[in-house]
């Protein structure tokens, strides 16, 4: 809400500078978000919170200033002489729950003309376009007193009676902005004898517009149900100065004042004779009585304020304190319908007392901090992958379903089963992610387009999977992407397949998490977006926890990216399940080890991990470790075969192994490998 | 005879002096001390020396041998160390070539700031809880004193999944979940992603918040001020000015907004603080008794405070980032700065 300092000063005479008044308002709850200097005035941009419709006017803000500074509030000048014939518009309210009060006056013989400059200038300054004197005065009073008014051209009404009732079967209505609105049956309308003439509290109809030829008007000042106005305004996507105020709650007791202020100004400026007033007010407003314990102020705020001071602050705000019966009762003024119980009263006291005067204390600490396991996992993952060169990416949770075709997922892939947003910002963002892969590929695309050649990113985020319940399951996923650049800028670029870079990062993570029981299994594995020859499932314990592999070139093409790209995606919960409980110390070995190498020739399709496992299992008590240190194909190795070289470390727990013992085991292993893998010793 | 033996010493010295490397010294050693060496020969012929002179002859021979050995060793050591030096010097690499390492990756700036924030609150005895990102309207609004048709809902443009399922617009619903499941005392922070149907230079449809709350029998607004001041001073330094001013949130009463002195201009006024010298970083307040009623707490028995802040906003202020969209674009050049 914009508020001119000059206008405010008509109601409260303060001597503070605009900066000081802005500061005062901000510190008492009406944040001044901006200031605009004009030739001889300053315009404050006041952020009025939704619970304070009483401050959506110049008079309301002035009232607030008067309370904060302890100054007198002046009222706008109102003097209505009912000079017209004793005619009174008839007002019928069909549902008092939707329209709590409706008052009106008829003014005959107005002369429509442009407003005087002082009016039109103020309107324009506060963001309302000037139209003609009558319409401008309704808007002027709206700004001044906060109550929305509406003027109908009486001669365009059929008869001078008003009915307030819902739209029913009427489904179209042309509003003042010359827009045909589609109504729904429960919307509240203002009717004359025959037709709807306004959408209650939102906007009038073009059919009864006050225009240049208008002579007689009917002036409305009413109070409508906030929720009803809000629903109508939302449904029509039509928010007006009027609906904005009604949906926050209008001052049912103050609306006559607004009607009369407007009638007074119209008679003064546009002329005409004002009729008697119709006032249909089915159920009078009953002020709320709040039982109040002064001791609670200090209990909530942690200050030391005495009842007299509290009472003085409340009185400044127009609250009444009654001391009768069981204890004090606080009665807020009718325009403060946001104040309903004692905590609301305490907030008022705190505001006026000043938040800055509340001391800062620290509550006694009861230690209970511990990190949830998942939080720890996130920490370890971030640290481990960071050390392997991976940076953390955070992407939006939204997903464009077309990504699934680019990933070549089959039509019945579970990941296509999406949670959809009913009102997405963009159609492409209409669903929630079921996988993090598309976003990471999009990151690759963006960075490639900006000239980056290599990339290591990971993301830890939730995905959203339909669960059959109202709310989806939200498991945490860990994904990473590695773009192996044709990177001439690094001297040390390895010649190996980039798969092993990414796999190495993952194995480093497993080591950091102390997960030992894991494996990479290609058998029967198929992830459509991964290279079938360079991908596999990642297993930990007895479960598949994810997948890793090179991006399928066709998928890369779909995402409009090129280069060597590797990805993994893991289920973080399953990762968590496989972390061993604690660290248990194992005594250091007492006897030395003997290390022997073994180079064997096997068929290409033999998996080195299977051979390693076979070696280890051949004599588990004697073999401490097996490590593959060379894979060789080429000269001296038959076509279709490869040489694998292992370093085997022998050690016994109870003695020093002799050479002849080791020789025996070594040859036994070789024989077993010959049996199970048709392995031959490399000559 | 003795003179003969003594002259061998001079012979050795002469040859050693001529030698240019350890190899030659080795040859000298063989020539004099080897199996067929000159001195070795003399030692072998000791038997042919008359008994009378033998001890004297033997003593001199041994002295000379020791001396020769010493001469040879010294010179050999001299040559060897010089030769090692020379061979090392010859084996020279280009030390200016940069070393091999995998450059460390980077933590996302918001995660980094979030960790800092979490650490402060952990040290104040708070524990971490989380809630779902797809949330029932009830938890996101109703239970937080924002019934249907409440204008406060305008403060948060909402993504809807169905009529009663939304993407949470704030982390405050975690308050309700935690309070429903536990009894006071409670001291909890709840970080996470939230969503609002809004996108421009200063708004992204997804961002991160951290919620904190504390409920016990004697929690006051001055405790709220104390805890938040400690937090702000930890994150922005002990000298940063802080102010609390009244505001409105349906789920807190009294409500406050917390400003810090503008970190960009130092309070003199700039675009970022809209010339006010202050920047809003937190919303907070005393938990509205109506929220306590919703979760079945006796509002007369308990009081509590709650606060919430946007992680991106704090990160932007901390590092001087001027466009919130950068956080979710994942440009390597951006991420690598943190």
- Give me the pLDDT at residue A670, please: 93
B-facing residues of A in 189-218 (CB < 8 A) are none
Place of tokens 């080195």: A608
Nearest-angstrom CA–CA distance, A305 and B327: 46
Q: What is the pLDDT of residues A377-398, one digit of tens each?
A: 999 999 999 999 999 999 999 9
Judged by a CB distance cut-off of 8 A, whether residue A554 touches chain B is: no
Nearest-angstrom CA–CA distance, B119 and A397: 26
**Cα Rg of chain A, angstroms:** 40
Contact A301 B246 (CB under 8 A): no
Contact A49 B164 (CB under 8 A): no
Mean pLDDT of B246-254: 94
In degrees, rounded to 5, the angle at the alpha carbon of residue A501 between the alpha carbons of residues A496 and A507 is 130
- Give me the pLDDT at residue B198, please: 87
Class of residue A534 by CB neighbours under 10 A (exposed 0-12, middle 13-18, buried 19+): middle
B-facing residues of A in 91-120 (CB < 8 A) are none
- Can you list the alpha helix ranges (DSSP code H) found in A388-532? 403-406, 437-449, 498-513
How many Cα atoms occupy the beta-carbon half-sphere of B50 within 13 Å?
A: 3
CB nearest to A386's CB, from B107, B229, B254: B107
State yes or no: pLDDT of A487 exceeds 60: no
Q: Which residue from A minimizes the CA distance to B254?
A: A347
State yes or no: pLDDT of A583 exceeds 90: no
Q: What is the pLDDT of residues A312-369, one digit of tens each?
A: 999 999 999 998 777 899 999 999 999 999 999 999 999 999 999 999 999 876 656 6
User: With bands split at pLDDT 50, 70 and 90, how would you rate the model's confidence at B151?
Assistant: confident
- Give me the pLDDT at residue A95, please: 94
Residues of A in contact with B165 (CB under 8 A): 470-471
- Can you list the alpha helix ranges (DSSP code H) found in B38-128? 38-44, 54-90, 109-123
A525 to A472, A503, A522: CA distances (angstroms): 27, 16, 5
Do residues B305 and B211 touch, judged by C-beta distance below 8 A? no
Mean pLDDT of A6-17: 96
Contact B254 A351 (CB under 8 A): yes
* Closest approach of B301 to chain A, Cα-based (Å): 11
State yes or no: pLDDT of A497 exceeds 90: no
* DSSP string for A507-529: HHHHHHHT---EEEE-TT---TT
Mean pLDDT of B241-257: 95
**Cross-strand partners of A203:** A199
- Give me the pLDDT at residue B7, please: 86
- Give me the pLDDT at residue A172, please: 95
Average pLDDT over chain B, rounded to an integer: 91
State yes or no: pLDDT of B107 exceeds 80: yes
State yes or no: pLDDT of A224 exceeds 80: yes
- Give me the pLDDT at residue B57, please: 84
Between A496 and A78, name the one with better pLDDT: A78
- Give me the pLDDT at residue A358, please: 94
CB nearest to A369's CB, from B127, B151, B288: B127
A490 to A338, A454, B103: CA distances (angstroms): 66, 11, 11
State yes or no: pLDDT of A200 exceeds 60: yes
Average pLDDT over chain A, rounded to an integer: 93
Mean pLDDT of B173-193: 95
Residues of B in contact with A397 (CB under 8 A): 133, 167, 193, 195, 206
* Closest approach of A430 to chain B, Cα-based (Å): 10
Judged by a CB distance cut-off of 8 A, whether residue A248 touches chain B is: yes
Token output for A587: 């005594």
- Give me the pLDDT at residue B3, please: 80
Judged by a CB distance cut-off of 8 A, whether residue A343 touches chain B is: yes
Token output for A247: 């949906």
- Give me the pLDDT at residue A503, please: 96
Residues of A in contact with B148 (CB under 8 A): 227
Nearest-angstrom CA–CA distance, A84 and B136: 58
Query: CB under 8 Å to A53, separation ≥6 — which residues?
Result: A146, A245, A248, A249, A250, A251
Mean pLDDT of A105-119: 95
Lowest mean pLDDT among A47-51, A217-221, A323-327: A323-327
Candidates B119, B257, B285, B335; CA nearest to A447 is: B335
User: With bands split at pLDDT 50, 70 and 90, how would you rate the model's confidence at B53?
Assistant: confident
- Give me the pLDDT at residue A364, please: 78
**Cross-strand partners of B256:** B246, B284
State yes or no: pLDDT of A489 exceeds 60: no
């Amino acid at each position: 809400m914009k508020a001119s300092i000059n206008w405010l000063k008509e109601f409260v005479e303060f001597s503070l500078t605009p900066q000081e008044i802005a500061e005062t308002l901000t510190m008492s709850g009406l944040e001044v978000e901006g200031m605009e200097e004009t030739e001889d005035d300053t315009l404050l941009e006041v952020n009025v919170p939704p619970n304070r419709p009483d401050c959506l006017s110049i008079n309301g803000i002035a009232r607030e200033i008067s309370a904060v500074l302890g100054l007198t509030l002046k009222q706008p000048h109102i003097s209505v002489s009912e000079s017209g014939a004793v005619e009174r518009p008839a007002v019928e309210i069909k549902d008092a729950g939707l329209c709590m009060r409706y008052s009106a006056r008829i003014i005959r013989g107005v002369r429509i003309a442009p407003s005087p400059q002082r009016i039109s200038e103020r309107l324009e300054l506060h963001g309302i376009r000037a139209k003609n004197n009558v319409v401008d005065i309704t808007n002027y009073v709206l700004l001044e007193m906060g109550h929305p008014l509406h003027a109908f051209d009486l001669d365009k009404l059929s008869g001078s009676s008003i009915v307030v009732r819902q739209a029913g079967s009427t489904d179209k209505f042309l509003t003042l902005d010359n827009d045909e609105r589609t109504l729904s049956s429960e919307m509240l309308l203002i009717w004359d004898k025959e037709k709807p003439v306004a959408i209650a509290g939102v906007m009038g109809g073009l059919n009864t517009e006050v225009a240049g030829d208008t002579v007689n008007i009917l002036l409305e000042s009413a109070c409508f149900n906030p929720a009803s106005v809000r629903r109508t305004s939302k449904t029509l996507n039509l928010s007006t100065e009027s609906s904005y105020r009604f949906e926050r709650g209008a001052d049912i007791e103050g609306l006559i004042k607004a009607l009369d202020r407007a009638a007074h100004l119209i008679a003064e400026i546009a002329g005409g004779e004002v009729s008697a007033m119709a006032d249909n007010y089915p159920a009078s407003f009953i002020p709320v009585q709040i039982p109040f314990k002064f001791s609670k102020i200090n209990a909530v705020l942690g200050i030391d304020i005495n009842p007299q001071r509290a009472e003085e602050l409340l009185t400044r705000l127009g609250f009444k304190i009654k001391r009768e019966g069981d204890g004090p009762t606080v009665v807020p003024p009718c325009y403060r319908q946001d104040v309903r119980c004692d905590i609301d009263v305490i907030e008022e006291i705190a505001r006026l007392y000043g938040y800055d005067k509340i001391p800062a204390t620290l509550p006694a600490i009861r230690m209970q901090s511990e990190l949830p396991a998942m939080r720890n996992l996130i920490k370890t993952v971030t640290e481990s992958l960071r050390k392997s060169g991976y940076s953390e990416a955070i992407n939006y949770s939204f997903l464009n379903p077309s990504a699934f075709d680019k990933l070549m997922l089959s039509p019945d892939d579970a990941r296509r089963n999406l949670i959809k947003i009913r009102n997405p910002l963009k159609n492409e963002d209409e669903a929630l992610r079921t996988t993090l892969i598309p976003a990471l590929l999009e990151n690759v695309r963006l960075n490639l387009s900006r000239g980056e050649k290599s990339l290591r990113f990971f993301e830890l985020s939730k995905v959203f999977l339909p669960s059959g319940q109202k709310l989806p399951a939200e498991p945490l996923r860990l994904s990473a992407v590695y773009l192996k650049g044709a990177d001439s800028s690094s001297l040390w670029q390895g010649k190996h397949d980039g798969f092993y870079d990414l796999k190495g990062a993952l194995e480093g993570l497993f080591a950091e998490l102390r997960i030992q029981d894991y494996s990479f299994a290609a058998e029967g594995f198929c992830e459509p977006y991964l290279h079938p020859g360079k991908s596999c499932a990642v297993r930990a314990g007895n479960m598949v926890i994810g997948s890793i592999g090179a991006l399928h070139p066709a998928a890369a093409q779909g995402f409009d990216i090129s280069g060597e790209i590797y990805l993994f995606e893991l289920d973080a919960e399953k990762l968590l399940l496989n972390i061993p409980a604690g660290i248990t110390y194992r005594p250091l070995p007492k006897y030395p080890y003997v290390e022997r190498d073994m180079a064997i020739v096997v068929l290409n399709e033999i998996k080195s991990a299977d051979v390693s496992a076979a070696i280890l299992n051949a004599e588990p008590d004697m073999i401490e470790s097996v490590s593959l240190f060379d894979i060789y194909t080429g000269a001296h190795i038959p076509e279709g075969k490869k040489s694998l070289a292992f370093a085997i470390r022998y050690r016994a727990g109870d003695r020093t192994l002799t050479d002849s013992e080791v020789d025996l085991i070594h040859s036994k292993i070789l024989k077993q490998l010959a049996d199970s893998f048709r392995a031959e010793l490399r000559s | 005879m003795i003179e003969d033996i003594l002259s061998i010493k001079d012979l050795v010295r002469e040859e050693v002096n001529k030698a240019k490397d350890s190899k030659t010294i080795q040859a000298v050693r063989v020539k004099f001390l080897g199996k067929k060496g000159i001195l070795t020969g003399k030692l072998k012929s000791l038997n042919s020396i008359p008994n009378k002179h033998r001890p004297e002859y033997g003593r001199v021979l041994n002295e000379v041998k020791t001396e020769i050995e010493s001469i040879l060793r010294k010179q050999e050591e001299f040559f060897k160390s010089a030769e090692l030096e020379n061979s090392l010097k010859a084996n020279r690499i280009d030390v200016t070539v940069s070393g091999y390492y995998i450059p460390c990756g980077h933590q996302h700036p918001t995660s980094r700031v979030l960790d800092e924030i979490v650490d402060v609150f952990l040290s104040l005895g708070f524990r971490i809880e989380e809630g779902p990102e797809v949330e029932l309207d009830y938890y996101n609004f109703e239970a937080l004193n924002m019934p249907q048709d409440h204008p406060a809902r305008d403060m948060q443009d909402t993504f809807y999944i169905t009529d009663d399922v939304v993407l949470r617009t704030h982390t405050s619903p975690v308050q309700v979940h935690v309070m429903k499941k536990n009894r006071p005392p409670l001291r909890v922070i709840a970080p996470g992603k939230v969503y609002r149907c809004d996108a421009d230079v200063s708004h992204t449809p997804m961002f991160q918040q951290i919620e904190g709350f504390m409920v016990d029998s004697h929690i006051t607004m001055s405790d709220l001020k104390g805890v938040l001041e400690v937090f702000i001073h930890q994150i922005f330094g002990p000298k940063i000015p802080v102010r609390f001013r009244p505001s409105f949130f349906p789920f807190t009463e009294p409500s406050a907004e917390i400003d810090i002195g503008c970190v960009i201009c130092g309070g003199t006024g700039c675009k970022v603080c809209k010339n006010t010298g202050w920047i809003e970083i937190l919303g907070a307040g005393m938990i509205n008794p109506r929220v306590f009623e919703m979760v079945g707490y006796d509002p007369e028995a308990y009081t509590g405070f709650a606060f919430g802040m946007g992680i991106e906003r704090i990160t932007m202020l901390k590092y001087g980032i001027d466009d919130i969209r950068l956080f979710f674009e994942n440009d390597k050049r951006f991420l690598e700065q943190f």
